[in-house]
Structure 1
Amino acid sequence: MTLTQNQSKTLVRGVGGVILFVLIVWTLAPLYWMLVTSLKNNTEIYSPDSNFWPINPTLDNYRTLFNETNFLIYFRNSLIVAAVTTLLSLILSALGAYALTRLRFPGRKFFARALVYTYLMPSSLLFIPLLIIIRSVGLQNSLEGLVFAYLGFTVPFCTWLLMGYFMSIPIELEESAMIDGCSRLGVLFRIVLPLTVPALAVVAFFSFTLSWNEFIYASVLVADTDVRTIPTGIPNFIVEDVFFWGPMMASTLISSLPPLIVYFLFQRFLITGLTLGAVKG
């Protein structure tokens, strides 16, 4: 039996819709289970009979989280580290990408390739040397030390990503501005950066989510409770062999909100930046 063109399109759309639905359920199921568990009391959580919704919804887990744990400290630290890392990554990567794409100096191609190689280096091989460096300069157990550590993997990738966008901008625009008396920095901030807002949104989102969720460096470089971030603070809810699932699920659900908020705020720029990057790459 031969399918017509319209039947083939309908079949493809149906199969694609089923696959998309399965992927959506696969993605949202953990979030739904976290929400449901955070609204259950301990009796329902530890009951041998699992329920897909809370029988007696309660906010006790959230009260415990905010009043009896250090979650607000972890949240504040994560927000500071992610925000500062994102801001510095934008500044440093923009300056570095513009220098590598527009200026001519010895070793330019080597530095451009080194950025990619630096980003590809696994963090599991770097955290011990990095710990020695951070300790030697007196930044261990500090938010500043985490920021400098995170810049080591955000700046190389962000710089490499922005290089592709900067090269797509006609150099004649910059030459015209410099003829009118604009400096190199003026060209960068007045012409190049406004034309690459979608790319900057992608870079900012990448830096924020990576530094928000990072665990290895945070667990090695920070030990004091006052400077722990969310990924290293949530495991403190496990005492010996007792898992406080209610507060853990509540904290995990709340900690997932900032990246989602950042995404929805810059959604239009992110989609444009990702699609342009796919074409220009």
Structure 2
Amino acid sequence: MAISSQTQTKPPRAHRRHLPIASGVALALAFTVLVVLNLLPLVWGVITSLKSEADLFRFPPTLFNFTPTAENYQRVVQSGFLGNMQMSLFYSLATVIGTLVLALPAAYAFDRFQFPFRNALFLLIVASIPLALGAAALLIPNYVYFSRLGLTNQWYTLPLIYIAHQLPMAIWIMKGTLEGIPRELDEAAIADGASHFEVLRLIILPLTKPALGAAGVLTFVGAWNEFVAGSVMVDSPALRPIQPAIYNFIGYFGREWGPLTASATLAILPILIAFALFGRLIVSGLTKGSVKG
């Protein structure tokens, strides 16, 4: 049987590009150097936190030739540092919950509805994302406003500030994901009698879990690591977050390297746990809406 000349040929399969061996080795070495440079301060800090005062000032410094001790951690615990960790955990979790509860409906409104100044308002939100990094620029006006309203030195002071700082980034992440969700799902649900709240709860919420996880992890890290507002907006030692508590070990007569590195080691543990449990959500959540079908 003759083969028809009109037989359609299948499109060629995409092939992965392979780097030359020299380029692969160079890239692996570059990443190795980058990893070592990032982990070396962390490892050195953990080792320093286990040294006694005599070993701390030994010259030349020793890496492993010393007797480990827990006296620095005991001193940190006795200073009430665990209470500061509990307050920071409360502040961070409250910030995550408040930010996500506000970010998802806001992103849904920006993506699904038309209203006056919609684009201008979203550009303003995107322009406010650096607030999470440049919070020091707003410290004085925030302190003046909160003082006049009697909102300083309260358990809700820092969560309010942290939510305001982290909300623009969360809205931006959520809107990018919503752009990849077909509007036909909303229209079909509304045609069946669902309200917009039900669409948001039953359809949008399950489909945006990766983005919610990514925004939640980034919000948690931002609130946990915040220092400027936490050191000024609250005065009570019982309300002090963890970062100003670490700074207390930098005294007038010099740095107390043992307690300082011990407290820093304890402070980084929740961040490591958060990234170990939810780190994959950052990549999946940030790339969820990057390709639209």
Q: Residue in 1 aligned with 2:151? A: 139
Post-superposition CA distance 1:46-75 (Å, at most 9, x none):
2222011251011111111112x1211210
Q: Choose the corresponding residue for 2:172, options 141, 160, 182.
A: 160
Q: Matches of 1:265 and 1:7 in 2, distance apart? A: 32
Q: CA 1:87/1:8 → structure 2, altered by over 3 Å: closer, same or farther?
A: closer
Q: Residue in 2 aligned with 1:195? A: 207
Secondary structure in 1 matching 2:235: coil
Q: CA 1:32/1:183 → structure 2, altered by over 3 Å: closer, same or farther?
A: same
**Residue 58 (str. 1) matches residue 81 (str. 2):** no
Secondary structure in 2 matching 1:12: helix
Q: Choose the corresponding residue for 1:104, options 97, 104, 114.
A: 114
**Residue 93 (str. 1) matches residue 103 (str. 2):** yes
Q: How does 1:117-128 map to 2 (within 5 A)?
A: 117-121=127-131, 122-128=134-140
Post-superposition CA distance 1:145-196 (Å, at most 9, x none):
1111111210111112211111211000011111222211111111112111
Post-superposition CA distance 1:105-155 (Å, at most 9, x none):
222222111101222353232111111111122121123111111112101
Q: Per-residue deviation at 1:277?
A: 5.2
Q: Residue in 1 aligned with 2:186? A: 174
Q: CA 1:54/1:172 → structure 2, altered by over 3 Å: closer, same or farther?
A: farther
Q: Matches of 2:172 and 2:251 in 1, distance apart? A: 43
8 Å contact kept, 2:157–2:233: yes
Q: CA 1:173/1:7 → structure 2, altered by over 3 Å: closer, same or farther?
A: closer
Which runs of 5 or more structure 2 residues have no equivalent in the other structure?
A: 1-16
**Residue 266 (str. 1) matches residue 278 (str. 2):** yes
Secondary structure in 2 matching 1:125: helix
Secondary structure in 1 matching 2:69: coil
8 Å contact kept, 2:103–2:167: yes
Q: Choose the corresponding residue for 2:92, options 77, 82, 89.
A: 82
- CA RMSD in angstroms comes to 1.8
Q: Which is helix-richer, 1 or 2?
A: 1
Q: Residue in 1 aligned with 2:12? A: none
8 Å contact kept, 1:37–1:54: no
Q: Residue in 2 aligned with 1:46? A: 57
8 Å contact kept, 1:141–1:221: yes
Q: Choose the corresponding residue for 1:32, options 43, 52, 62.
A: 43
Q: Per-residue deviation at 1:271?
A: 2.5
Q: CA 1:29/1:190 → structure 2, altered by over 3 Å: closer, same or farther?
A: same
**Residue 224 (str. 1) matches residue 205 (str. 2):** no
Which runs of 5 or more structure 1 residues have no equivalent in the other structure?
A: 1-5
Q: Matches of 2:35 and 2:250 in 1, distance apart? A: 30
After alignment, is 50-59 or 249-258 more displaced? 50-59
Moved over 4 A (4+): 277-280
Q: CA 1:88/1:250 → structure 2, altered by over 3 Å: closer, same or farther?
A: same
Q: CA 1:259/1:8 → structure 2, altered by over 3 Å: closer, same or farther?
A: closer
Q: Percent of aligned pairs with the same residue? A: 34
Q: Residue in 2 aligned with 1:247? A: 259
After alignment, is 78-87 or 116-125 more displaced? 116-125
Aligned length: 274
Q: Per-residue deviation at 1:279?
A: 4.6
Secondary structure in 2 matching 1:64: helix
Q: CA 1:275/1:161 → structure 2, altered by over 3 Å: closer, same or farther?
A: closer
Secondary structure in 1 matching 2:179: helix
After alignment, is 216-225 or 266-275 more displaced? 266-275
Q: Matches of 2:148 and 2:116 in 1, distance apart? A: 32
Q: Per-residue deviation at 1:213?
A: 0.3
Q: CA 1:139/1:54 → structure 2, altered by over 3 Å: closer, same or farther?
A: farther
Q: Residue in 2 aligned with 1:116? A: 126
8 Å contact kept, 1:36–1:54: no
8 Å contact kept, 2:180–2:289: no
TM-score, structure 1 normalization: 0.92
Q: Choose the corresponding residue for 1:11, options 14, 22, 30.
A: 22
8 Å contact kept, 1:73–1:226: yes
Q: Matches of 2:291 and 2:123 in 1, distance apart? A: 21
Q: CA 1:117/1:102 → structure 2, altered by over 3 Å: closer, same or farther?
A: same
